[in-house]
Amino acid sequence: MSWIDEAVVYQVYVRSFADGNGDGVGDLAGMTGRLEHLASLGVDAVWLSPCFQSPQADHGYDVSDYTAVDPLFGTVADLEAFVAEAHARGIRVMLDLVPNHCSVEHAWFREALAAPAGSPARARFHFADGRGLDGELPPNNWGSVFGGPGWTRLSDGQWYLHSFDASQPDLNWGCDEVLEMMDDVLRFWFDRGVDGFRVDVAHGLVKREGLPDWTGAPGSSNEFMWNQPGVHDIYRRWRKIAYEYGACFVGEVWVASVADLMAYASPDELGQAFDFHLLVQPWHAPSIRGAVEHGLRPGTAWALANHDVHRPATRYGQAQLIEEPDPADMLASARRRGPVDLPLGRRRAVAASMLMLALPGAAYLYQGDELALPEVLDLPHSVRQDPIWLRSGGSELGRDGCRVPMPWTAEPDTFGFTQAPAAWLPQPEAFGALSVEVQEQEPWSALAVLRRAVRARKGLFTGDELTWLEADPDVVAFRRGRSICVLNTSGRELALPGDWGPVRVSSVPIDGRILPTDACAWLSVAEGGDGVSPSPTPATAGTTKES
Ligand code: NOJ
């Protein structure tokens, strides 16, 4: 049993959290200054999006030096200071490791560019000759996740592989030097008190031997690029290092089968991996139940959001299409389209967070979701920065809309985010009323509810066992330990059975024992009662409310 198994982890998107030096971009000093917010939320740990040296082509997921902090965010000393301050408040710190690829500005890639084809410097990456008469065609048919080909050609005629942007060359994990370098990176940060790492595209590091053409159906997930068996040797190796420090990992793993996911999350490998099925579900009780079932096992990290997907408050306020997620494009599956009923979406988002917090396993909150912030869908095209936007020629809006800086106060123009006249992405006017300062004054704000929920969670929900309670098909209800979580998606009010005990936390005010629609409640079963009476009944005209 490790602290991370049941942790509430708060994801900080560093450039959008708080700006300490007044340049309009969030940084480590800004984060340290806002640690009280995290302490008052009651989270166990933070995961920081990458703050290593980087040209920022993919906002830090393009690392040019894994043991340096980018000056945009501060220094290694600032990071150490942040770790110390977080630890002083009982908050652990996880960094974001990007092992699949580095940056074209990494010293190794520069060296590779200067070295001839076939050289050891090129063996640290995937360089290959092209096909066609003159090598003018890429070495295989693999595409980039961000759109376009997965290969870029150099002036000397060779091509290099990049699963993402051309600025992010894939490292060759068949090369011992790569393995050794990343061992050193782990130790470097563990020696500085870092408690663990989120591992970026953990299923991507190893490629199919020989890099053959993908022969599956067009548009299907390229099984030669992802989830190769050899990747597990890497994580067994890292586990031994982490063991020396008592450190931990959580893997960003997008694989279709539960058995495959379990291998990454096994205790001798990463120990924990995200199960994204809950994140991609619409507001539909049977789908939500199915996703919970999907993730019920040791080592699950739950999330409803992160820096790559549309925010829940917006998703749940759009038309809810009941369809199976596309395993080849789970990110797209997380997106909804059409007009947004934001008050409804925000209310559902808070309820969904409460459901997630009641589950066995670790729960990850993305910054701003404690405020139920909306996705900013109408950013001017001129300010968009995401490589997805750039590489798709503007046909995909990309992920900037969930990365808009945090509103701390009601004060325009930057709502306490920065002393600069403007934040790196413009914040909508509506952020003022959703700011931390404003929500702190409201007893039923998203912030107030989630503070209560995060703090109550561990006392109320214990053990790994979850028992479904028979309920209306449009209601998700389960018991865990001595507590019950009930989520009402039915569109109707529900009368909560008396033997389910008193309501401890709810996403909206509860009048008597009536749970309104689009709401979640936690109850604790009375001593002696088994708390599993058949089902909450729809409230009808004849149902009496307790006064
Ligand atoms: C997954 C990260 O979450 C995403 O933000 C990034 O662009 C890609 N991996 C590439 O590193």
pLDDT digits (tens, 9 = 90+) for 367-424: 999 999 999 999 999 999 999 998 888 888 899 999 999 999 999 999 999 999 999 9
Q: How does DSSP classify residue 366?
A: E
Which positions are catalytic?
200, 244
Peptide bond into 400 cis (omega under 30): no
Determine which residue's CA is closest to atom 11 belonging to ligand 1.
Answer: 61
CB 196 within 8 A of CB 94: yes
Q: Could you tell me the CA-to-CA distances from 480 to 103, 355, 442, 491, 522 in Å, in that order?
A: 45, 12, 30, 25, 10
Q: Are residues 433 and 298 in the same domain?
A: yes
Domain boundary among 123, 139, 161: 161
Determine which residue's CA is closest to atom 10 belonging to ligand 1.
Answer: 61
Q: Are residues 330 and 411 in the same domain?
A: yes
Q: What is the pLDDT of residue 533?
A: 54
Domain boundary among 449, 480, 512: 449
Q: What is the pLDDT of residue 362?
A: 98
Q: What is the pLDDT of residue 323?
A: 82
Measured from the Cα of 399, ligand 1's closest atom is 5
CA of 58 to the centre of ligand 1 (A): 8
Q: What is the pLDDT of residue 326?
A: 78
Q: Are residues 92 and 114 in the same domain?
A: no
Number of domains making up the chain: 3
Q: Are residues 113 and 86 in the same domain?
A: no
Residue 25 maps to a domain = yes
Q: Are residues 281 and 430 in the same domain?
A: yes
CA of 84 to the centre of ligand 1 (A): 27
Q: Are residues 10 and 120 in the same domain?
A: no
The CATH number for 115's domain is 3.90.400.10
Determine which residue's CA is closest to atom 2 belonging to ligand 1.
Answer: 200
Q: What is the pLDDT of residue 391?
A: 84
Residue 238 maps to a domain = no
Q: Are residues 372 and 519 in the same domain?
A: no
CB-ligand 1 contact for 170 (6 Å cutoff): no
| Whether pLDDT at 106 is above 80 | yes
Q: What is the pLDDT of residue 535?
A: 56
CB-ligand 1 contact for 61 (6 Å cutoff): yes
Average pLDDT over the chain, rounded to whole?
A: 94
| Whether pLDDT at 67 is above 90 | yes
Residue 456 maps to a domain = no
DSSP string, 317-346: TS--------TT-HHHHT---S---HHHHH
Residue 260 maps to a domain = no
Q: What is the pLDDT of residue 468?
A: 97
Contact residues for 450 (Cβ-Cβ < 8 A; gap 6+): 41, 350, 353, 354, 365, 370
Q: Are residues 490 and 524 in the same domain?
A: yes
Residue 201 maps to a domain = no
CA of 48 to the centre of ligand 1 (A): 13
Select from 12, 48, 52, 58 the residue to mutate for testing ligand 1; criterion: most ligand atoms less than 8 Å from CB: 58
Give the model confidence (pLDDT) of 487-505 as tens digits: 999 999 999 999 999 999 9
The CATH number for 503's domain is 2.60.40.1180
Separation between Cα atoms, residue 186 and residue 94, nearest integer Å: 11
Determine which residue's CA is closest to atom 5 belonging to ligand 1.
Answer: 308
CA of 23 to the centre of ligand 1 (A): 24
CA of 545 to the centre of ligand 1 (A): 49
Give the model confidence (pLDDT) of 380-391 as tens digits: 999 999 999 988
Q: Is 229 exposed, middle or buried (0-12, 13-18, 19+ CB in 10 A)?
A: exposed
| Whether pLDDT at 321 is above 90 | no
Residue 196 maps to a domain = no
Residue 182 maps to a domain = no
Separation between Cα atoms, residue 427 and residue 429, nearest integer Å: 7
Domain boundary among 119, 143, 161: 161
Reduced to 3 states, what is the DSSP secondary structure of residue 316? coil
> H helices of 89-207, where?
107-114, 120-123, 176-191
Q: Are residues 432 and 539 in the same domain?
A: no
Q: Are residues 386 and 479 in the same domain?
A: no
CB-ligand 1 contact for 96 (6 Å cutoff): no
CB-ligand 1 contact for 308 (6 Å cutoff): yes
Residue 291 maps to a domain = yes
Determine which residue's CA is closest to atom 8 belonging to ligand 1.
Answer: 61
Q: Are residues 392 and 478 in the same domain?
A: no
CB-ligand 1 contact for 199 (6 Å cutoff): no
CA of 307 to the centre of ligand 1 (A): 9
Q: Is 85 exposed, middle or buried (0-12, 13-18, 19+ CB in 10 A)?
A: middle
CB-ligand 1 contact for 47 (6 Å cutoff): no
Q: Which domain holds residue 61?
A: 3-98+275-449
Q: What is the pLDDT of residue 545?
A: 32
Q: What is the pLDDT of residue 277?
A: 94
Separation between Cα atoms, residue 541 and residue 523, nearest integer Å: 24
Q: Are residues 47 and 126 in the same domain?
A: no
Q: Summarize the confidence of residues 241-248 as an average pLDDT.
A: 98
Contact residues for 535 (Cβ-Cβ < 8 A; gap 6+): 469, 470, 471, 472, 475, 477, 497
| Whether pLDDT at 237 is above 70 | yes
Residue with the bigger pLDDT between 330 and 497: it is 497
| Whether pLDDT at 340 is above 60 | yes
Looking up tokens 């900037």 gives: 400
CB 101 within 8 A of CB 167: no
Give the model confidence (pLDDT) of 20-65 as tens digits: 999 999 999 999 999 999 999 999 999 999 999 999 999 999 999 9
Give the model confidence (pLDDT) of 432-442 as tens digits: 999 999 999 99
